[in-house]
Chain A
Amino acid sequence: MTSTLPKFGSTFLALVALSSLAPAQEKSGETIYRQMCAKCHGAKGEGAKQYPQPLIGDKSLKQLAHVIDSTMPDGSPDLLNAVESERVAEYMYGAFYSPDAQAKLNPPRVELSRLTVKQYRNSIADVIGSFRTPPKADAKEGLRAEYFNARNFQNNKKQIDRTDAEVRFDFGKESPKSETETKEKFDPNTFCIRWEGSVWAPETGVYEFVVKTDHALRLWVNDAKKPAIDAWVKSGDNTEFKTSMFLLAGRAYPIKLEFSKAKQGVDDSKKNPNPPVKPAFISLNWNRPGRAVEPIASRFLTPLKCPEVAVIETPFPPDDRSFGWERGTTVSKEWEAATTEGALETAAYIVAKLQDLTGVQPGATDRVAKYKAFCRVFAERAFRRPLSAAEQSLFVERQFEAAGDDAQLAVKRVVLIVLKSPRFLYPDANGASEQYAVASKLAFALWDSPPDKELLDAAAANKLGTREEVGKHADRMFNDPRAKAKMRDFLLTWLKLDQAKELPKDAKRFPGFDEALAADLRTSLELFLDDVVWSANSDFRQLFLADELYLNGRLAKFYGAEPPPEAGFKKVKLEADKRAGVVTHPYVLSSLAYTGETSPIHRGVFVGRGLLGIGIKPPMEAFTPLAPDLHPNLTTRERVLLQTKANACASCHTIMNPLGFSLENFDAVGRYREKEKDKPIDASGSYETRTGTTAKFTGARELAKFLASSDETHYAFAQQAFHYFVKQPVRAYGLAKPEELRKTFADNDLNMRKLVVEIAVIGAMPRKELAPSK
């Protein structure tokens, strides 16, 4: 933990420089820099051999001057007084240090991007989906449930037709219960049930569906023909049946579950009229990506029968995320090969479902003409704009000619050439007219998917010319489940929790904190985020200030809350005077902790880097935290201070530690505590703002209040949102854009929905329309 800076050398040089030249106070900042700083830091702050890190950062001018005044030149800070330090800071800030200075030196630009992997999959799903008719949306939850007093699904034997919120039944040796009178009395030996509707995928990833039953079952998900699980033959004593599939966020997938408590095959009921009754149970569960197996909750189920979704499973190499958001600005051989596989998979899918998609019977005499018409529309939707005559000839006519009399092959060729075309893969280079380009950008910003019919119609009618027109569509589109899924994904990314991770905890100290509980915590956080975003005011501050928490029975028990009446998730006040929104959410706090101890450093980095948006560099080398057992008398706070007291650590840790300390009232699983090792918790903390004032707070609520009202938090949130939704550097839209966004956000009472709509509009409109406002 010693400084790696060349202390002696630079001091010496600085002394030489000073003694041989005129008094410093008459010099400009630039001269001072050249004479006293450039040797170590490079002529333009780019770094030099001994100190290679470029002088780039996001401290305010005031903060920078303060750092220089108190630490520079290294080892002899007295050589520069406060005024000189300020002058040199001013020069550095404007010449290369600040983000704006960097933007002037290397003007960020809107780079040509291919579809990201997400956008690729969504495009296929939605372009094909546009040929299918969705049912009229409603808000109903659960699944349609039909109960039959027979071993087959004979309509005249149907006794119950209702909506079941979830599929979780233990019939025992009884027959199904009904609140209304049934025509016949159920035979407890022989009955069957069909649940049908659709299931919403809240995130993109691999879902495992798990049906638990001691009788026969069949499950279909997103494929009406082939069951995902076929256990209609009951065989042996297996009672758990699983299948995995990849699903895309924000879409509903048709699902059907059939259950049969009956013998299949030959009917022997006459021969054996009164067999002993066996028990029966059934439940429909899933394991969402990175979660634990749990019953599918009613909020993910709808009795509506949605059409199938074309989910392309071809594996793609992951997108570049080096800037913190997914970008399609690079191509690779693997990516190119994946687009080929994706095109082939899509072509096979379309050919297999051609009748469903075109409504044309395979033997119909006019099928070639109708397939052609289908192909044309397919190409237009894939390209997100109408085809020119030349394109119609290349992408459709020519392919049909080449395929001879094999009309299916012709369709396959069209799908291949369209999906391999740069006009599909590069939305911004496909030669679309201005309004279609606006439509495309807007849709990708909000949905990561191509425009819907309404938006394309608007482009065709020239109704996407003004901010108001585009904004109206953005408002409408933001209510789509795909936008909701993207918004939730963004918030989780903002909280650095986008990748669901395991939360292993010390089983001795935290009995009951297991995989299922961790999954519940994540659900609790997501419910909270959704709740705030989609509340009337969508008030950003509520993310920090809310004093209620979503808990289910299991969580309530673990965290010692009044258990909610039902087992489901309910908003509960838990230590309301101590907790506040996301910063005290036990999922966040457990993630930012070790298995047994808290980690004020991780929490501090989360608050500082993530929420306040300050650039904290990683440590010079990797450190293992001091083992608590070796310091049995120290609290966590004391241990952290001990480990980070060296000068080399201090410049960053004096920022992070005090932020993290303010959350010390919450242990490694996010439970409130007053004491650690019999010492009272010291939850005092502070933060030096970019305006130069010092904010002090004790405990999480005070920290949360500060964060809720801080310009820095708002600025960081708006900037991150821009990058997440538009996938281009915000300064490419004007150097003042980040600050403008912050201001717009603040002027709109920190309404998150309005912010994202504004961002989507900025990203979509031609840049000449976006002349910076004064």
Chain B
Amino acid sequence: MPLTRNRREFVRDLGISAAAVPFLLNLPGLSFANQAKRKQRIVFVFSPNGIVPKDFWPDEEGANFKLKQILSPLEPFKKQVLTLHGVCDRIRGDGDGHMRGIGCLLTGIELYPGNVQGGSDTPAGWAKGISIDQEIKNHLQKDAATKTRFGSLETGVMVPDRADTWTRWSYAGANKPITPIDDPYQLFNKLYGRAKDNEALASVLDDIKDDLKKVGNNVGAADKKLLEEHAAFVRDMEKELKEQKNATVGHAVPKMELGIRKDNDNIPKISKAQLDLLVNSFQADFARVASYQITNSVGGARMKWLDINEGHHELSHEPDTNEKAQEKLVKINKWYCEQVAYLAKRLSETPEPGGSGSLLDNTLIVWTNELGKGNSHTMDNIPFVLVGGGLDFKMGRSLKYPKVAHNRLLMSLAHGFGHNVKTFGNPNHCAAGPLTGLV
């Protein structure tokens, strides 16, 4: 089960001894060194199957623009929104459109040849390189001033229980896809499991001390010494647990609604729980990079709560002339946008701990998609909608680019963190450097 695995893996990944664990896990970050500078954050949000361009992209260019229906939930944050039209995924090679769409989206590089067959294209495997979120995470984790407990959190909602090219977008490196956590309880345990463990532990310590005393009375004097020594260590631990509790996370451990099952109809509930936990982890500075993957490429969420009974993917293939289908697709995409808006809202309501403004002022949300348009499978004009002030881009604008490679945008994101990469992904698409006009 995930819980056990994660605990073990986590302890192992940290490479620290068991003795040190309790003193590290509950603290906001690995040290206080990371609290001095302004904290910059980035969240990547994925929704699948392309959008309906006419109801998505603003007609205007520049600061004076109107949000169309799909983007209307972002109205309250319009001054913090930046839409980027004309950014194209130029990566070709093995794999079908959806596979390359999601696999090359954050990596900017081709897929390996492999055995995953999609439609009539050549079969493919995993992406050949690291994704930009992991690149930024590694950059931040290298420096004590920006290092956090997890570095990054890969999350999602209703991601299918199968690892294939259609279900992964974050890569730790070539051939190293990262499984997103789409179960809020699993995410909760990753974030707060230790705090809960310590609570349970602290509450049984009195009984353990009594027990040690009782057992000590049953043995000879020479042996009793050993038990007394043992009891002293238990008292030490108790003291340390108390001290830690006082120095803890900076916000209350959130209460989770019990018993939400992983189920299509629960997508809204799960999505809210996951986004709340993401905001909490930023507040506690558990991580500064996150990704949030709604289903998967070719994702077939059935949004019955919007009175739509067809799966998203099958609808996305309907021609433009099918107006009913297009209406539904607009509603579906608007719902995705509402998730972005909810995240922005929560971030904007949360003051930056130890800094100025809100979390949103120091966070950039990058909402994107594996395709430009569902029924054509085009990878031109990939939806890129940015929200928040994390990278000091000039927000509140609608930009239109003349078909530029998305590798350049990925480079810009790294540069926004002071990580001035010369290329990212396939270097052939990087010659023109990071995107201009963002700041």
* B64 on the A face (CB < 8 A): no
Give Cα A340 to B208, complex, Å. Answer: 12
Interface pair B123/A265, CB less than 8 Å apart: yes
Give Cα A412 to B203, complex, Å. Answer: 12
* A467 on the B face (CB < 8 A): no
Q: B115 touches which one: A226, A234, A338, A426 (CB < 8 A)?
A: A234
**Interface 0/1 of B108-129, CB less than 8 Å to A:** 0001111111111001111010
* B253 on the A face (CB < 8 A): no
Give, as a whole number of angstroms, the nearest-CB distance from B217 to chain A.
10
Give Cα A452 to B125, complex, Å. Answer: 49
Q: For residues 80 through 117 of chain B, which have their beta carbon under 8 Å from a beta carbon of chain A?
A: 96, 111-117
- Give chain B residues whose Cβ lies under 8 Å from the Cβ of A265: 116-118, 123, 164-166
Interface pair A429/B207, CB less than 8 Å apart: no
Segment at the interface with A among B2-10, B270-278, B286-294, B323-331: B2-10
* B226 on the A face (CB < 8 A): yes
Interface pair A225/B18, CB less than 8 Å apart: no
Interface pair B215/A336, CB less than 8 Å apart: no
- Give chain B residues whose Cβ lies under 8 Å from the Cβ of A232: 163-164
Give Cα A345 to B3, complex, Å. Answer: 10
Give Cα A715 to B212, complex, Å. Answer: 40
| Nearest-CB residue, chain B, relative to A350 | B4
Interface pair A315/B7, CB less than 8 Å apart: no
* B61 on the A face (CB < 8 A): no
* B21 on the A face (CB < 8 A): yes
- Give chain A residues whose Cβ lies under 8 Å from the Cβ of B128: 236
Segment at the interface with B among A83-91, A177-185, A416-424: A416-424
Give Cα A380 to B156, complex, Å. Answer: 42
**Interface 0/1 of B201-240, CB less than 8 Å to A:** 1011001100110011011001100110110011011000
* B175 on the A face (CB < 8 A): yes
Interface pair A271/B4, CB less than 8 Å apart: no
Q: For residues 319 through 366 of chain A, which have their beta carbon under 8 Å from a beta carbon of chain B?
A: 329-334, 336-338, 340-345, 347-349, 351-353
**Interface 0/1 of B1-30, CB less than 8 Å to A:** 111110110011000011101100000000
* A313 on the B face (CB < 8 A): yes
Interface pair A351/B237, CB less than 8 Å apart: no
Q: A349-B4, A402-B203, A413-B200 are in contact. Are A340 and B22 (CB under 8 A)?
A: yes
Interface pair A429/B204, CB less than 8 Å apart: no
**Interface 0/1 of B321-362, CB less than 8 Å to A:** 000000000000000000000000000000000000000000
Interface pair B203/A341, CB less than 8 Å apart: no
Give, as a whole number of angstroms, the nearest-CB distance from A208 to chain B.
15
Interface pair A216/B117, CB less than 8 Å apart: no
Q: For residues 139 through 179 of chain B, which have their beta carbon under 8 Å from a beta carbon of chain A?
A: 163-166, 174-175
Give, as a whole number of angstroms, the nearest-CB distance from A220 to chain B.
13
Interface pair A233/B200, CB less than 8 Å apart: no
- Give chain B residues whose Cβ lies under 8 Å from the Cβ of A330: 226
Give, as a whole number of angstroms, the nearest-CB distance from B195 to chain A.
12
Interface pair B215/A431, CB less than 8 Å apart: yes
Interface pair A235/B125, CB less than 8 Å apart: yes
Give, as a whole number of angstroms, the nearest-CB distance from A232 to chain B.
7
Interface pair B18/A337, CB less than 8 Å apart: yes
Give, as a whole number of angstroms, the nearest-CB distance from B223 to chain A.
3
* A709 on the B face (CB < 8 A): no
Interface pair B123/A263, CB less than 8 Å apart: yes
Q: A336 touches which one: B3, B7, B21, B237 (CB < 8 A)?
A: B237
Give, as a whole number of angstroms, the nearest-CB distance from A215 to chain B.
7
Interface pair B19/A333, CB less than 8 Å apart: yes
Interface pair A266/B125, CB less than 8 Å apart: no
Q: State the total of A-B contacts with C-beta under 8 angstroms.
A: 178
* B197 on the A face (CB < 8 A): yes
* A112 on the B face (CB < 8 A): yes
Interface pair A236/B211, CB less than 8 Å apart: no
* A469 on the B face (CB < 8 A): no
Residue among A112, A225, A422 facing the most chain B CB atoms (10 A cut-off): A422
- Give chain A residues whose Cβ lies under 8 Å from the Cβ of B201: 340, 343-344, 416
Q: A271-B120, A431-B215 are in contact. Are A235 and B204 (CB under 8 A)?
A: no
* A238 on the B face (CB < 8 A): yes
| Nearest-CB residue, chain B, relative to A431 | B218
Interface pair B115/A233, CB less than 8 Å apart: yes
Interface pair A420/B204, CB less than 8 Å apart: yes
Interface pair A336/B203, CB less than 8 Å apart: no
Q: A226-B5, A263-B116, A344-B201 are in contact. Are A333 and B236 (CB under 8 A)?
A: yes
Q: A409 touches which one: B200, B218, B236 (CB < 8 A)?
A: B200
Q: B175 touches which one: A236, A262, A352, A398 (CB < 8 A)?
A: A236
Q: A429 touches which one: B3, B7, B114, B219 (CB < 8 A)?
A: B219
Interface pair B222/A109, CB less than 8 Å apart: yes
Give Cα A763 to B200, complex, Å. Answer: 38
- Give chain B residues whose Cβ lies under 8 Å from the Cβ of A352: 1-4
* A268 on the B face (CB < 8 A): yes
| Nearest-CB residue, chain A, relative to B225 | A112
Give Cα A234 to B17, complex, Å. Answer: 36
| Nearest-CB residue, chain A, relative to B168 | A233
Q: For residues 289 through 337 of chain A, which have their beta carbon under 8 Å from a beta carbon of chain B?
A: 313-316, 329-334, 336-337
- Give chain A residues whose Cβ lies under 8 Å from the Cβ of B234: 336, 420
Interface pair A422/B163, CB less than 8 Å apart: no
Give Cα A336 to B229, complex, Å. Answer: 10
Give Cα A271 to B117, complex, Å. Answer: 12
* A394 on the B face (CB < 8 A): yes
Q: A233-B126, A345-B8 are in contact. Are A264 and B117 (CB under 8 A)?
A: yes
Q: A333-B236, A344-B197, A431-B218 are in contact. Are A266 and B118 (CB under 8 A)?
A: yes
Give Cα A704 to B397, complex, Å. Answer: 90
Interface pair B175/A341, CB less than 8 Å apart: no
Interface pair B117/A422, CB less than 8 Å apart: no
| Nearest-CB residue, chain A, relative to B205 | A420
Interface pair A334/B19, CB less than 8 Å apart: yes
| Nearest-CB residue, chain B, relative to A363 | B259
- Give chain A residues whose Cβ lies under 8 Å from the Cβ of B116: 233-234, 263-265
**Interface 0/1 of A405-436, CB less than 8 Å to B:** 00001001100110011110110011100000
Give Cα A233 to B99, complex, Å. Answer: 12
Q: B204 touches which one: A236, A342, A416 (CB < 8 A)?
A: A416
Give Cα A264 to B99, complex, Å. Answer: 13
- Give chain B residues whose Cβ lies under 8 Å from the Cβ of A233: 114-116, 125-126, 163-165
Give Cα A260 to B115, complex, Å. Answer: 10
Give Cα A337 to B24, complex, Å. Answer: 13
- Give chain A residues whose Cβ lies under 8 Å from the Cβ of B203: 402, 413
Q: A230-B163, A413-B204, A429-B219 are in contact. Are A215 and B115 (CB under 8 A)?
A: yes
**Interface 0/1 of A373-403, CB less than 8 Å to B:** 0000000000000000000001000110010
Q: A109-B222, A331-B226, A416-B201 are in contact. Are A262 and B115 (CB under 8 A)?
A: yes
Interface pair A268/B218, CB less than 8 Å apart: no
Interface pair A331/B229, CB less than 8 Å apart: yes
* A187 on the B face (CB < 8 A): no
- B interface residue numbers (CB < 8 A to A): 1-5, 7-8, 11-12, 17-19, 21-22, 96, 111-120, 123-126, 128, 163-166, 174-175, 193, 197, 200-201, 203-204, 207-208, 211-212, 215-216, 218-219, 222-223, 226-227, 229-230, 233-234, 236-237
- A interface residue numbers (CB < 8 A to B): 109, 111-112, 114, 215-216, 225-226, 230, 232-236, 238, 260, 262-268, 271, 313-316, 329-334, 336-338, 340-345, 347-349, 351-353, 394, 398-399, 402, 409, 412-413, 416-417, 420-423, 425-426, 429-431
7 smallest CB-CB distances across A and B, nearest first, come from A235-B125, A352-B1, A112-B223, A336-B233, A234-B115, A236-B112, A337-B19
List 23 contacting pairs A-B, 8 Å CB cutoff, sorted by A: A112-B219, A226-B1, A233-B115, A234-B116, A236-B125, A236-B174, A263-B116, A265-B123, A265-B164, A315-B18, A331-B229, A331-B233, A332-B233, A334-B19, A337-B19, A345-B7, A394-B207, A412-B200, A421-B208, A421-B211, A422-B227, A426-B215, A429-B227
Q: A234-B125, A337-B237 are in contact. List 11 more A-B contacts (CB 8 A).
A: A114-B226, A234-B114, A236-B174, A265-B164, A266-B117, A333-B19, A337-B18, A341-B18, A420-B204, A422-B216, A431-B215
